[in-house]
Structure 1
Amino acid sequence: MASRGKSRERVEPTFEEEDERDDELRVDAGDRIGGKRTGRSTKAKTGKTAKVAPKSRSSGRGRGKAKRSSGGLSGLIGRLIYWCIVLGIWGAIGVGGIVMYYGARMPSASSWSIPERPPNLKVVSVEGTVIANRGATGGEALALEDMSPFIPQAVIAIEDRRFYSHFGVDPLGLARAVVTNLASGRTVQGGSTLTQQLAKNLFLSPERTIERKIQEVLLSFWLEHKFTKDQILAMYLNRVYFGSNAYGVEAASRRYFSKSARDVNLGEAALLAGLLKAPSRLSPARDPEAAEARAQVVLGAMREEGFISDDEIKTAMSQPPTTAKRYWTGAGQYVADMVLDETKRLIGTISEDLVVETTIDMTLEKKAEAVIVESLEAEGDKLKASQAALVSIDGTGAIRALVGGKDYAESQFNRAVKARRQPGSAFKPFVYAAALETGVRPESTRNDAPVRIGNWTPENYDEKYRGPVTISHALANSLNTIAAQLVMEVGPDHVIKLAHRLGIESELQSNASIALGTSEVSLLELTAAYAPFMNGGYKATPHIIRRISTAEGKVLYENDYAEPPRVLGEPVVAAMNRMLKGVITDGTGKKARLDGWEAAGKSGTTQSFRDALFVGYTSNLTTGVWFGNDDGQSMKKVTGGGLPAKAWHDFMTAAHAGLTPVPLAGEGYVEPQAQPMTIGTILSDVFSGGEKRYPAAPNAPAVRQEEVPRAGRPPAEIPQADPYQQGAGGPVPPADVGAPSPVQPASRRTTLLDIIMGQ
């Protein structure tokens, strides 16, 4: 018994040790229950503790320990694997169910198609240079091979490095993005592929929901199945938003660099690719420094991918940062707006990409813009002039240059076309032309003296009177009293009819003050109405569109101004050119003189110096210039013969550089001998007491000329010769179609005094 007790004492510590280790290795209740059953069963059979030799106990204890340890660890790993598989299966079933549910809510894949890209209007000059684009995207679509190769490389490097190897969704890229975002504690990298981004842009709303994300993945699979990688990349680059209302690389390139995406360099491509992360925040028009910093990140990514070398990076980083205005800039934008409106009028709704060939000469356009900007910057503040406009047309009415304001980025209002202002004395040529049609001649005389017309007493600018003067002298020196007398002699209605016939389209008030240009007109129509003096007496309907074609080359419209009507007789044209030349050589327009070229024109200044204009022409171009303020505030004594005449001179000098001078129309015309001054005309002035009185003119409605049709005749072949080339000498005036002039010179009105004096 004693030995048994001792044996029990020796064995008990051993079992207690085994019990403790068993506790450490327990994994679940099954293991614990199995061990206790074995112990109780043995005890129940024998009724006493079995004897175990020391060696056997030791050996058995070791083997049992190893067995339990091995079984517990492997069991743990096995159970982990098991539950992972189970959970994965159930997760896959759940995800599959969700995908099936949201997929069933989508239209059938057989009906999926790429939405049409919004149509773009590409506006080009006579040289074929792109002036601007108009449309929802702001630029045309380019084929991948037409883009600068740096653009797709930069976008792939920073947005989707595995683009050419994944199947629409990139698990590795997604995992990398998750790790990066967790490490940084914020979202710094996205996991969407370019295909997913394209799917979102093409088909889905920007909301972030599970349904939208699942639809995005399904659409990505469809895109990858339907199109090649290059096609997907091209669609993405032509539609993605780059900030500042620019969609697609072509629009963005022209918006920020004023060049095509075909010509983008490495640094510019990196900047464009960097915008994709945050187009508005990183726009160089908003934050040039942030845009440049992001571009350098893109350059680093391109180097990591092996697209560029270290030397290329150094070259790109040495380039000055790109800066851009918050809005499209350049005078050509005024042209593009005008072309868009005119295109809609000519062909209706724009439903496809179109190419509009304009009459704009980009060389002249840039010169015109430079002259306007430089004039305002040099003297605008001093003279309190904040805005200006310029329009230049040739003898056919084709608009060669147009500037609607100082800066399109600041104001998109086209002052050359849409603003209507009083022309002041710049309207007087129509008064004098109407008088010439009634028989008055440049050498005819009138008395420069106080004139009263009803309750209106016009005065000259210098408040001086010169007595008897010739009509030519009166026009050159812009004498208001003589213009008022002529209006009352020929009648305001005759003046209005002539002005409409020559090209004025605005309503004109039938009263005596029309002589001083009190009815409002646009600068474009005023300039176009001067063109018949330049081209020999033919209507010059202003137009800016030559041809409209589809992207495939199908012609939808072609203008036809080849046979304009005659609106002035040759004698009137010749006389007006001689008189208007005198304005520049001896009168108020001396600052507009051109070296080597015959030029004619007229200045205009409105009440309180609110508007100042100069409209003039050579045998090559007719150009009108306006200076003023949008709010109608007075300038500091700016007259048409001052700042506008100087700007006109600077533009026309640049526009005629290298061209062979050609005389004005009518130089070869021999004017019939003018009626000599008689005692009758002298006594007429004397009997009036030095002050002529006229009854107030009736306020009759203005008479409008029927608009000349702009289309309807077969398209004419557009001449290929550029009228501005060396030696061309300007556009050839349109040929006389054989119809007699609608305006024949009439005899001078015979007065009672003439009859008495035997005239």
Structure 2
Amino acid sequence: MSEDNKKKSKKKGRKGLKIFLVVLLMAIVISVGAVSGIILSILKDTPKIEPTNISSTLDQTSFILDPEGNVIEKIQTLEFRTIVSLNKMPIHLQEAFISIEDERFIDHIGVDPRGIVSSMIDNLKAGHIVRGASTITQQLARNLYLNNEKKWDRKIKEAYLALQIEKVLTKDQILEGYLNRVNLGQGAYGVQEAAQTYFSKNVENLSLAESALLAGIVKSPSKYAPYKTVSPENFDSTKHYEVGQLDILGEKYIAIYNEEAVKRQKIILNKLLELDKITKQEYEEALNENIKENLKPGQKKIKGISSYFTDYVKTQVVNSLINELGYTKEQAEKELFTGGLKIYSTMDVKLQRELEDVYNNFTEVLVGNPSKIKGPILVDWRLNSAKDIIDENKNIVYYKQENLLNENYDLVIEKGTFDIINENLVIKNKKLTPYKKHIDVADYYTIDERKNLVSHTVGSFTIPEGSFSVNESKEITIKSSFLNNNKDFYSVDGNGNLIIKEKYFFRSKDGIVQPQSATVILDYKTGQIKALVGGRDVEGARILNRATASQRQPGSAMKPIAAYLPALDNGFTAASPIDDVPFYINGKLWPRNWYRGYRGINTLRTSLEQSINVNSVRLVDSIGVKTSMEYLEKLGIINREHPEKDSFITSAENGSSNDENLSALALGGMTKGLTPLEITAAYGAIANGGVYLEPVSFTKILDKNGNLLLDNTPKETKVVSPEVAYVMGDILRTTVSNGIAGRAKLSNMAVGGKTGTTQNQADIWFVGFTPYYATGVWIGNDSPKITISKNSGTAAQLWKHIMTRAHEGLESKTSFNKPAGIVSVKVCTQSGKIPTDLCAHDPRGSTTKTEIFVKGTEPKEYCDVHVEVPIDITTGKVANEYCPIENVVNKVFVKRNPPYNPAEHGGIIPSDYQYSVPTGICDIHGPNTHIDDPIDDFFNEEDDEETYIPPNYNENNDYNNEDENNEN
């Protein structure tokens, strides 16, 4: 080639290269622009961040504590987390995470290009992803602001956010945020929670081996968690090594050792050695540490205590945040579960354990060895010929299991109660109760090995609304459109019965043991709930807290708070006479007493001691229904401002069926009823000198920074004076010592209280108090249609057993604190007034006794009920002026006020009627038998009353040498 041609060729080559370079540059610019545009587009959707408040953005575990600050329960949530500062984390723990997750953490700017290249090479060599390239800062950014979707746009956002975080935070701040946020399996987030979850220790106490184990979890929390959980039925001792047991949402699980975690741990230890973060000796010691033995699963809640108490704490916390701080319900619940709250409960853990133990041995406490009893225990059931449980109207309450379900737990609908018409399934069977939007299936029962009746709930059919119809005769038609899409819904067996598959309805496999029971122990001086059990459990199943959320009719336990306490504060005294004679409502004889007939005149005290129904009704009738309700409002039973929050039904709420009546107020026959907590708190006001304290389950809440968020001081309401409360309490004391509640007596401890039994013994109660606690005990079946085979004395027996244990180690107190304004005075039990000589000559013996009074309410008048009357002994009638003197004897009688005439009450005669003044006058002696010494003015009691002065009486109307303890 010539020189010119060579020059031309070179020029062309240079020109071509220039063109190529220009094109390449343009392509690069265009590509960079395009990529930049894409990146900018992606970054537009990146969330705005404030890296300086990382800790405050983290969800934190809330704790329920006892009054001393000991943990009772970590509140269940998706992420358990407790924030700790970096200086509490051991250096070897920090190094373990850095070494395996981001060994150049200290040097990079948030992303690690070298790490990215190394990751790509390793992944290409392996043919699959064996390691990631995200730095600790990127992981923190992802955990805080992004999700775990494996997309390129997420990686770009992640890198961008990491760069932003590195600009404003130090490496220590980033590492602290990461170690408090990272997912370490078993619901543990952050190293403190992981240390507690796997080793039951704080993070500062972790060894090198344990720290390396935790660092290994990050790669795959499900694969490398140090232990896994299995249910007891899936545990195999030949394959599994048990490291502990856990309670998760009320279910028991076994924690088993996971060997994969230790394999991963060895990789971390080797990496630490490789990077000179640990010595060879430290490495060997860590390898030789027995991780199996170290593992000790941390408990989310204290062992041996059910969740009844803490569940109620959570409810009260949410309500308080709403009512006191203005939170919405959603905000309150979020704060409870993720706000890192420290909630100081009122629980006395020792007392709670004692109560739980009593309920764990419920059967043995009340009936002894169940094997000697023909089951079911404590249940008074009625059975039909098929052994189904029926009510008094012969309606089936619970089917026997075999009568409802077959061996596969499919529902059996008998031949003749169904038909298939135009491909529709038509059913009319008493096992099904149709409603507009669902079809309920009947429930069934079984008997367990401890002779308990167990009720099993069966839910509604899972049939969409519109796929069935119901006619006026309650005939159900399940449409062909549903049946065609659910071919396995039903079949017909060889006997012609319809079989509906179990998958189409819920069945409570474990069921609920019956009868149920609930107890509340309250410190009435502070309003603090000290112990609480809301039911007897089967395998830990806690569906309903009967102590706080189940209203049951209180029966006679209502009498002290709705009848007797208001009466004592409205003109009545403990000595007021009340005549137990027939009472009528709308012309109908009502109520009946628990005993046969009527007993006549009794003091108010005796009326409650003997739980006389008629006299309780007379009291409420006398003071008025409205007055009774005013006291129930003060006692926390009625909420006039928010009636939807109480269980008392007023006439304004329901004009035809409500609790504004004598039955509900005097006898406890309420429409809904009361919870054990409500009635216990009301009795607590009597014990607390007449001051009602709204019961609380927690005293204060601290936020995650330790600041006081809420001080839960109980609200106080003065119900009656201390003096009236003391008299009421003393009447309840003698109801136990002298009355029908004797089974509640405690040795060396004063007790006041009252039994309660509802109609047919569906519910039995004892509510009472000591100088230390007020406690309410309820026993009954969840279905009130099944009654209890024992009376309320059984509830008193359980109360005594609980309170005997509750008072162990406490100082003996055989009386209640008496206020200054109480006086003791002798009275006549028939009049409630100052006795006369005639009171000592009552045919039954002296009717004089010592009674206590609020000073100023003691009687000022003399007894005018006892009168001396001349009787003709030949007729037994009042002597007339013609009766022979030798036939006439002066006798002492009771003059009733108002008079009682059996003829006006269908011939009903109260048991004390024989001691009343005879109404007849002698009719066999007339003028022809007149004698010279007639009996004149024999009924002039006023003259006697004016001249009689009882012995030992002073001008202040006080008796000398009398004491309330001698009142009986």
Same fold (TM over 0.5): yes
Distance 1:219 1:645 in 2: 67
In structure 2, list runs of 5 or more residues that go unmatched: 1-23, 230-247, 273-277, 367-376, 378-449, 453-513, 639-645, 650-658, 831-864, 866-893, 911-940, 947-968
**Structure-2 change in CA distance of 1:276 and 1:572 (3 Å):** farther
- Are positions 1:599 and 2:741 aligned together? no
Q: Summarize the alignment of residues 287-686 of structure 1 with structure 2, pairs less than 5 Å apart.
A: 288-289=254-255, 292-297=258-263, 299-301=265-267, 303-304=269-270, 305=272, 310=285, 314-318=289-293, 322=297, 330=307, 331-349=309-327, 355-375=342-362, 382=451, 384-386=514-516, 388-405=518-535, 410-411=541-542, 413-430=544-561, 431-446=563-578, 452-454=584-586, 455=588, 457-461=590-594, 469-505=602-638, 506=646, 507-508=648-649, 509-514=659-664, 515-519=666-670, 520-552=673-705, 554-555=707-708, 557-558=710-711, 564-628=716-780, 630=782, 632=784, 634=786, 636-637=788-789, 639-643=791-795, 645-647=797-799, 649-651=801-803, 653-654=805-806, 657-659=809-811, 661=813, 663-666=815-818, 669-677=822-830, 678=865, 679-681=894-896, 684=899
* Separation in structure 2 between the aligned mates of residue 387 and residue 184 of structure 1, nearest angstrom: 64
Q: CA deviation at 1:202?
A: 1.0
Matched-pair contact (CA < 8 Å) for 1:421–1:521: yes
Residues 111-137 of structure 1: CA deviation (Å, up to 9, x unaligned): 632363357755444323344466885
Partner in structure 2 of residue 277 of structure 1: 220
Contact 1:388/1:628 (8 A) holds in 2: no
Q: Structure 1 residues 335, 682: CA separation in 2 closer, same or farther (over 3 Å shift)?
A: same
Task: Specify which of 144, 151, 155 is matched with residue 86 of structure 2.
Answer: 144
Q: What is the CA–CA distance in structure 1 between the aligned matches of 2:809 and 2:258, rounded to whole Å?
A: 41
- List gaps (5 residues or longer) in structure 1: 1-86, 693-753
* Deviation of the 1:503 alpha carbon: 2.6
Contact kept, 8 Å, 1:573 with 1:666, in 2: the verdict is no
Aligned pair count reads 609
**Code of the aligned partner of 1:317:** K
Q: Does the residue aligned with 2:525 lie in a helix, a strand or coil?
A: coil
Q: CA deviation at 1:535?
A: 1.6
1:190 Cα deviation after fit = 5.4
Displacement of 1:250 in angstroms is: 5.8
| Structure with higher RCO (Cα < 8 A, 6+ apart) | 1
Q: Residues 560, 217 of structure 1: CA spacing in aligned structure 2 closer, same or farther, 3 A cutoff? A: closer
Write the deviation string for residues 174-223 of structure 1: whole angstroms up to 9, x where unpaired.
Answer: 78877888899877765544433322121113322111122223323433
Residues 652 and 103 of structure 1: is their aligned pair in 2 closer, same or farther, counting only changes over 3 Å? farther
Q: Distance in 2 between matches of 1:218 and 1:162?
A: 18
Distance 1:122 1:172, change over 3 A: same
Determine helix, strand or coil for the equivalent of 1:579: helix
Distance across 2 between alignment mates of 1:623 and 1:419: 17
Q: Aligned partners of 2:135, 2:116: CA distance in 1, in Å?
A: 9
Q: Which amino acid aligns with 1:416?
A: A
Q: Deviations over 1:264-295 (max 9, x none)?
A: 89879957974872459976459755674455
8 Å CA contact 1:127–1:361 kept in 2: the answer is no
RMSD: 5.0
TM-superposed deviation, 1:232: 2.6
1:661 alignment partner AA: K
Report the 3-state secondary structure (helix = DSSP H, G, I; strand = E; otherwise coil) of the residue aligned with 1:530: helix
Corresponding residue for residue 175 of structure 2: 233
Structure 1 pair 581–155 and aligned structure 2 pair: CA distance change class (3 A): farther
1:429 Cα deviation after fit: 1.0
Name the SS of the counterpart of 1:484 in structure 2.
helix
| More off after superposition, 474-483 vs 546-555 | 546-555
The structure where helix makes up a greater share of residues is 1
CA deviations over 1:663-720 (Å, ceiling 9, x no partner): 313377324444441323488456455479xxxxxxxxxxxxxxxxxxxxxxxxxxxx
1:126 has 2:67 as partner: yes
Q: Secondary structure at the match of 1:105?
A: helix
User: Which residue identity does 2:667 align to in structure 1?
Assistant: L
1:163-178 to 2 correspondence within 5 Å? 168-169=110-111
- Supply the AA of the counterpart residue of 1:429: P
Q: Aligned letter for 1:616?
A: G
**Does the 8 Å contact 2:47/2:145 carry over to 1?**
no
Q: Which has the higher strand share?
A: 2
2:144 & 2:64 partners in 1: Cα distance? 26
Assess, with a 3 A threshold, how the Cα gap between structure 1 residues 215 and 482 changes in structure 2: closer, same or farther.
same
Q: Bigger radius of gyration, 1 or 2? A: 1
8 Å CA contact 2:593–2:614 kept in 1: the answer is yes
Whole-Å Cα distance in 2 between the matches of residues 465 and 355 of structure 1? 58
Q: 1:231–1:664: structure 2 CA closer, same or farther, 3 Å change rule? A: same
Question: Alignment partner of 1:670: what SS?
Answer: strand
TM-score (normalised: structure 2): 0.53
Deviation at residue 497 of structure 1 after TM alignment? 1.7
Bigger drift between 247-256 and 338-347 goes to 247-256
C-alpha displacement of 1:389: 4.5
Q: Does 1:117 align with 2:117?
A: no
1:699-718 correspondence to structure 2 within 5 Å: none
SS in 2 for 1:318: helix
Native 8 Å contact 2:313 2:698 kept in 1: no
State the identity %.
29
Alignment counterpart, residue 42 of structure 2, candidates 101, 105, 112: 105
Once residues 271 and 585 of structure 1 are traced to their aligned partners in structure 2, the CA distance between those partners, rounded to angstroms, is 63
Distance in 2 (CA, whole Å) between partners of 1:616 and 1:437 is 20
Once residues 813 and 95 of structure 2 are traced to their aligned partners in structure 1, the CA distance between those partners, rounded to angstroms, is: 53
The two structures have a TM-score, normalised by structure 1, of 0.65
Give 1:416 deviation, angstroms: 3.2
Conserved 8 A contact 1:246-1:252: yes
Distance (Å, rounded) in 2 between the aligned partners of 1:270 and 1:150: 12
User: Matches of 2:675 and 2:896 in 1, distance apart?
Assistant: 38
Structure 1's 159 and 376: CA in aligned 2 closer, same or farther, altered over 3 A?
A: farther
**Relative to 1, partners in 2 of residues 1:239 and 1:609: Cα closer, same or farther, differing over 3 Å?**
farther
Structure 2 CA distance for aligned equivalents of residues 263 and 500 of structure 1: 54
Q: Which amino acid aligns with 1:337?
A: T
1:209 equivalent to 2:114? Answer no
Rounded to whole Å, the distance in 2 between the matches of 1:590 and 1:620 is 19
Q: Which amino acid aligns with 1:318?
A: E
CA distance in 2, matches of 1:204, 1:164: 23
Report the alpha carbon displacement of residue 544 of structure 1 after superposing the two structures with TM. 4.2
Q: Partners of 1:517 and 1:158 in 2: how far apart? A: 70
